Amino acid sequence: MKAASSFRRNLLYRRLVIIASATIAIAVVVGAVFLVCRYSGFRISSIVVSGNRSVSSEEIIAVSRETANSCFWGKLLGNDHLFAWMSFPKEKLTEAIFRLRDAAIDIGENREINISVTERKETASWCLVIEEKKRCFWMDEEGALFAPGPDAEGSLVRVINDRTGRDMGIKDRPLSVEEMANFQKTSLMISELSLPISDISLNQSGSKDLTIKLFSGHEIRFSLSTDPSFGVPVIRSLIESGEWPRVEYLDLRIEGKGFYKLK
Protein backbone atom coordinates (compact mmCIF):
# COMPACT_ATOMS: atom_id res chain seq x y z
CA MET A 1 0.00 0.00 0.00
CA LYS A 2 2.79 2.41 0.90
CA ALA A 3 4.55 1.68 -2.37
CA ALA A 4 1.35 2.39 -4.34
CA SER A 5 0.71 5.60 -2.42
CA SER A 6 4.30 6.75 -3.02
CA PHE A 7 3.99 6.01 -6.75
CA ARG A 8 0.78 8.09 -6.98
CA ARG A 9 2.43 11.00 -5.18
CA ASN A 10 5.43 10.89 -7.51
CA LEU A 11 3.17 10.71 -10.55
CA LEU A 12 1.13 13.67 -9.32
CA TYR A 13 4.31 15.59 -8.63
CA ARG A 14 5.64 14.94 -12.12
CA ARG A 15 2.35 16.00 -13.64
CA LEU A 16 2.37 19.22 -11.61
CA VAL A 17 5.94 19.92 -12.70
CA ILE A 18 5.01 19.36 -16.36
CA ILE A 19 1.93 21.58 -16.06
CA ALA A 20 3.93 24.28 -14.29
CA SER A 21 6.72 24.12 -16.87
CA ALA A 22 4.24 24.30 -19.75
CA THR A 23 2.43 27.22 -18.09
CA ILE A 24 5.69 29.11 -17.62
CA ALA A 25 6.75 28.39 -21.23
CA ILE A 26 3.41 29.59 -22.58
CA ALA A 27 3.59 32.68 -20.38
CA VAL A 28 7.11 33.43 -21.67
CA VAL A 29 6.01 32.99 -25.31
CA VAL A 30 2.89 35.11 -24.82
CA GLY A 31 4.93 37.74 -23.02
CA ALA A 32 7.54 37.75 -25.80
CA VAL A 33 4.87 38.05 -28.48
CA PHE A 34 3.17 40.84 -26.57
CA LEU A 35 6.52 42.59 -26.14
CA VAL A 36 7.38 42.29 -29.83
CA CYS A 37 3.94 43.45 -30.94
CA ARG A 38 3.29 46.20 -28.41
CA TYR A 39 6.59 47.48 -27.14
CA SER A 40 7.27 50.91 -28.57
CA GLY A 41 10.99 50.15 -28.75
CA PHE A 42 10.28 47.93 -31.76
CA ARG A 43 8.46 50.70 -33.66
CA ILE A 44 10.32 52.85 -36.18
CA SER A 45 10.71 56.50 -35.24
CA SER A 46 11.09 58.04 -38.72
CA ILE A 47 12.01 57.41 -42.37
CA VAL A 48 14.71 59.52 -44.02
CA VAL A 49 15.40 59.46 -47.79
CA SER A 50 18.66 60.55 -49.42
CA GLY A 51 20.14 60.53 -52.93
CA ASN A 52 16.91 61.42 -54.75
CA ARG A 53 16.79 64.31 -57.22
CA SER A 54 13.71 63.88 -59.40
CA VAL A 55 11.59 61.52 -57.31
CA SER A 56 10.07 63.10 -54.21
CA SER A 57 10.89 61.74 -50.76
CA GLU A 58 7.16 61.50 -50.07
CA GLU A 59 6.64 59.15 -53.03
CA ILE A 60 9.59 56.96 -52.04
CA ILE A 61 8.38 56.76 -48.43
CA ALA A 62 4.81 55.92 -49.50
CA VAL A 63 5.92 53.13 -51.85
CA SER A 64 8.43 51.85 -49.26
CA ARG A 65 5.70 51.60 -46.62
CA GLU A 66 3.49 49.69 -49.06
CA THR A 67 6.40 47.38 -49.84
CA ALA A 68 7.19 46.79 -46.16
CA ASN A 69 3.51 46.13 -45.55
CA SER A 70 3.48 43.37 -48.18
CA CYS A 71 6.15 41.20 -46.52
CA PHE A 72 5.41 38.59 -43.83
CA TRP A 73 6.35 40.70 -40.81
CA GLY A 74 4.66 43.74 -42.30
CA LYS A 75 1.39 41.88 -42.71
CA LEU A 76 1.69 40.49 -39.17
CA LEU A 77 2.99 43.52 -37.27
CA GLY A 78 2.46 46.53 -39.55
CA ASN A 79 4.85 48.59 -41.66
CA ASP A 80 5.94 50.71 -38.69
CA HIS A 81 7.55 47.70 -37.00
CA LEU A 82 11.31 47.22 -37.24
CA PHE A 83 10.91 43.56 -38.26
CA ALA A 84 9.13 44.66 -41.46
CA TRP A 85 12.29 46.53 -42.55
CA MET A 86 14.94 43.96 -41.60
CA SER A 87 14.35 41.91 -44.76
CA PHE A 88 13.03 44.73 -46.94
CA PRO A 89 12.82 43.64 -50.64
CA LYS A 90 14.48 46.69 -52.22
CA GLU A 91 13.99 45.31 -55.74
CA LYS A 92 10.24 45.82 -55.30
CA LEU A 93 10.88 49.51 -54.58
CA THR A 94 13.01 50.00 -57.71
CA GLU A 95 10.49 48.04 -59.76
CA ALA A 96 7.61 50.21 -58.54
CA ILE A 97 9.58 53.44 -59.09
CA PHE A 98 11.57 52.54 -62.20
CA ARG A 99 13.41 55.85 -62.18
CA LEU A 100 15.36 54.48 -59.21
CA ARG A 101 18.31 52.33 -60.28
CA ASP A 102 19.15 51.07 -56.79
CA ALA A 103 18.15 51.46 -53.15
CA ALA A 104 19.74 50.61 -49.81
CA ILE A 105 17.84 50.27 -46.52
CA ASP A 106 19.59 50.81 -43.20
CA ILE A 107 18.19 50.86 -39.66
CA GLY A 108 20.01 53.61 -37.82
CA GLU A 109 20.16 54.75 -34.25
CA ASN A 110 16.92 55.64 -32.50
CA ARG A 111 15.01 53.25 -34.81
CA GLU A 112 15.38 55.53 -37.82
CA ILE A 113 14.94 53.96 -41.29
CA ASN A 114 17.45 55.38 -43.77
CA ILE A 115 16.62 54.86 -47.46
CA SER A 116 19.48 55.74 -49.81
CA VAL A 117 18.59 55.71 -53.51
CA THR A 118 20.40 56.10 -56.83
CA GLU A 119 18.44 57.45 -59.78
CA ARG A 120 18.93 56.44 -63.40
CA LYS A 121 21.06 58.81 -65.45
CA GLU A 122 19.37 60.76 -68.25
CA THR A 123 21.53 59.82 -71.25
CA ALA A 124 19.23 60.64 -74.16
CA SER A 125 15.61 61.29 -75.04
CA TRP A 126 14.02 58.56 -77.14
CA CYS A 127 11.05 59.90 -79.14
CA LEU A 128 8.48 57.66 -80.80
CA VAL A 129 7.17 59.34 -83.96
CA ILE A 130 3.90 57.68 -84.92
CA GLU A 131 1.66 59.40 -87.47
CA GLU A 132 3.49 62.68 -86.87
CA LYS A 133 2.75 62.50 -83.14
CA LYS A 134 5.64 62.29 -80.69
CA ARG A 135 6.02 60.62 -77.31
CA CYS A 136 9.41 61.00 -75.69
CA PHE A 137 11.08 59.10 -72.85
CA TRP A 138 14.32 59.54 -70.98
CA MET A 139 16.71 56.67 -71.70
CA ASP A 140 19.47 55.66 -69.26
CA GLU A 141 23.03 54.60 -70.09
CA GLU A 142 21.93 50.96 -70.36
CA GLY A 143 19.17 51.74 -72.85
CA ALA A 144 16.10 51.50 -70.60
CA LEU A 145 13.24 53.99 -70.95
CA PHE A 146 12.43 55.17 -67.45
CA ALA A 147 10.47 58.46 -67.44
CA PRO A 148 8.73 60.96 -69.75
CA GLY A 149 11.38 62.93 -71.62
CA PRO A 150 11.62 66.15 -73.66
CA ASP A 151 11.44 66.69 -77.41
CA ALA A 152 14.36 69.09 -77.22
CA GLU A 153 16.23 70.99 -79.91
CA GLY A 154 19.88 71.90 -79.87
CA SER A 155 22.89 70.01 -78.56
CA LEU A 156 22.22 69.95 -74.80
CA VAL A 157 19.91 66.92 -74.96
CA ARG A 158 20.54 64.04 -77.38
CA VAL A 159 17.19 63.22 -79.06
CA ILE A 160 16.63 60.06 -81.12
CA ASN A 161 13.55 60.08 -83.36
CA ASP A 162 12.25 56.53 -83.74
CA ARG A 163 10.18 56.49 -86.94
CA THR A 164 10.01 52.69 -87.18
CA GLY A 165 6.37 52.57 -86.06
CA ARG A 166 7.17 50.71 -82.83
CA ASP A 167 5.19 51.48 -79.72
CA MET A 168 7.07 51.36 -76.41
CA GLY A 169 6.81 52.63 -72.87
CA ILE A 170 8.62 52.89 -69.56
CA LYS A 171 10.79 49.82 -68.74
CA ASP A 172 11.21 48.96 -72.43
CA ARG A 173 14.64 48.84 -74.12
CA PRO A 174 14.54 49.93 -77.77
CA LEU A 175 18.14 48.81 -78.37
CA SER A 176 19.99 45.61 -77.54
CA VAL A 177 23.11 45.72 -75.35
CA GLU A 178 25.39 45.69 -78.41
CA GLU A 179 23.33 48.32 -80.22
CA MET A 180 23.31 50.58 -77.16
CA ALA A 181 27.09 50.30 -76.85
CA ASN A 182 27.54 51.24 -80.52
CA PHE A 183 25.09 54.12 -80.17
CA GLN A 184 27.08 55.52 -77.25
CA LYS A 185 30.28 55.21 -79.27
CA THR A 186 28.60 57.02 -82.16
CA SER A 187 27.44 59.87 -79.90
CA LEU A 188 30.90 60.16 -78.36
CA MET A 189 32.55 60.18 -81.78
CA ILE A 190 30.31 62.97 -83.09
CA SER A 191 30.92 65.01 -79.92
CA GLU A 192 34.70 64.57 -80.14
CA LEU A 193 34.63 65.79 -83.75
CA SER A 194 32.53 68.83 -82.69
CA LEU A 195 29.83 68.15 -85.30
CA PRO A 196 26.54 69.85 -84.24
CA ILE A 197 23.59 67.48 -84.73
CA SER A 198 20.20 68.57 -86.06
CA ASP A 199 18.51 65.14 -86.14
CA ILE A 200 19.13 61.51 -85.15
CA SER A 201 16.67 58.97 -86.48
CA LEU A 202 15.78 55.35 -87.07
CA ASN A 203 13.50 55.26 -90.09
CA GLN A 204 12.79 51.67 -91.11
CA SER A 205 11.12 48.96 -89.07
CA GLY A 206 13.57 46.24 -88.07
CA SER A 207 16.52 48.24 -89.42
CA LYS A 208 19.76 48.73 -87.49
CA ASP A 209 20.59 51.86 -89.49
CA LEU A 210 20.97 55.16 -87.67
CA THR A 211 20.96 58.40 -89.66
CA ILE A 212 22.53 61.53 -88.19
CA LYS A 213 21.94 64.90 -89.85
CA LEU A 214 24.20 67.82 -89.04
CA PHE A 215 23.32 71.51 -88.98
CA SER A 216 25.89 71.92 -91.76
CA GLY A 217 23.63 69.85 -94.03
CA HIS A 218 25.75 66.70 -93.95
CA GLU A 219 24.21 63.28 -93.41
CA ILE A 220 26.11 60.40 -91.80
CA ARG A 221 24.73 56.87 -91.83
CA PHE A 222 25.70 54.30 -89.19
CA SER A 223 24.81 50.72 -88.41
CA LEU A 224 24.00 49.97 -84.77
CA SER A 225 25.36 46.47 -85.27
CA THR A 226 28.82 47.86 -86.16
CA ASP A 227 31.44 49.60 -84.02
CA PRO A 228 31.63 53.11 -85.56
CA SER A 229 35.07 54.02 -84.19
CA PHE A 230 36.76 53.43 -87.56
CA GLY A 231 34.83 56.45 -88.91
CA VAL A 232 36.84 59.01 -86.93
CA PRO A 233 39.90 58.99 -89.23
CA VAL A 234 37.60 58.90 -92.27
CA ILE A 235 35.83 62.10 -91.26
CA ARG A 236 39.06 63.80 -90.18
CA SER A 237 40.65 62.89 -93.49
CA LEU A 238 37.74 64.46 -95.39
CA ILE A 239 37.90 67.61 -93.25
CA GLU A 240 41.66 67.96 -93.63
CA SER A 241 41.51 67.35 -97.40
CA GLY A 242 39.03 70.20 -97.86
CA GLU A 243 36.40 67.93 -99.39
CA TRP A 244 34.13 67.88 -96.33
CA PRO A 245 32.00 70.91 -97.42
CA ARG A 246 31.21 69.07 -100.69
CA VAL A 247 30.11 65.82 -98.99
CA GLU A 248 26.37 65.19 -99.29
CA TYR A 249 26.34 62.03 -97.22
CA LEU A 250 28.84 59.67 -95.62
CA ASP A 251 27.98 55.99 -95.28
CA LEU A 252 29.77 54.17 -92.41
CA ARG A 253 27.46 51.18 -92.16
CA ILE A 254 30.05 48.64 -93.31
CA GLU A 255 32.81 48.22 -90.75
CA GLY A 256 36.19 49.47 -91.92
CA LYS A 257 34.80 51.16 -95.02
CA GLY A 258 33.51 54.67 -95.68
CA PHE A 259 31.49 55.60 -98.75
CA TYR A 260 30.54 59.17 -99.53
CA LYS A 261 28.77 61.15 -102.20
CA LEU A 262 29.88 64.62 -103.26
CA LYS A 263 27.46 67.39 -104.14
pLDDT score, position 171: 95
Q: Considering only CA atoms, which of 254, 123, 138, 136 is closest in space to residue 183?
A: 123
Rounded to an integer, what distance in angstroms lies between the CA atom of residue 221 and that of residue 228?
10
Count CB atoms within 10 A of the CB of residue 116. Answer: 14
**Separation between Cα atoms, residue 93 and residue 191, nearest integer Å:** 36
CATH-assigned architecture of domain 41-119:
Roll (3.10)
pLDDT above 70: residue 10:
no
- For the chain, give every domain's residue range: 41-119, 124-262
- The answer on pLDDT for 262 being more than 60 is yes
Residue 33 has pLDDT above 60, yes or no: no
What percentage of the chain has pLDDT greater than the value 70?
Answer: 83
- What CATH fold (topology level) applies to the domain 124-262? Rossmann fold (3.40.50)
Q: How far apart are CA 209 and CA 225, in angstroms?
A: 8
- For residue 132, pLDDT over 50 is answered with yes
Helix (H) or strand (E) holding 47: strand 46-50
The predicted structure's pLDDT at residue 154: 63
**C-alpha–C-alpha distance, residues 103 and 88, integer Å:** 10
| Type of residue at 205 | S
Confidence label for 73 from pLDDT (cuts 50, 70 and 90): confident
Contacts of 177 (CB under 8 A, 6+ apart): 142, 143
pTM of the entire predicted model: 0.77
Q: Mind listing the pLDDT tens digit for each residue in 232-243?
A: 999 999 989 988
Q: Using an 8 Å Cβ cutoff, are 125 and 160 in contact? A: yes
CA angle 56, 61, 62 (to 5 degrees): 100
Q: pLDDT of 185-211, one tens digit each?
A: 998 898 888 888 889 999 877 778 999
pLDDT band with cut points at 50, 70 and 90 for residue 58: very high
Is residue 260's pLDDT more than 90?
A: no
Q: What is the pLDDT of residues 78-104, one digit of tens each?
A: 888 888 888 888 999 999 999 999 999
Q: Grade residue 22 by pLDDT with cuts at 50, 70 and 90.
A: low
Which is more confidently placed, 243 or 12?
Answer: 243
Q: Quote the CA–CA distance of 63 and 45 in Å, as a whole number.
A: 18
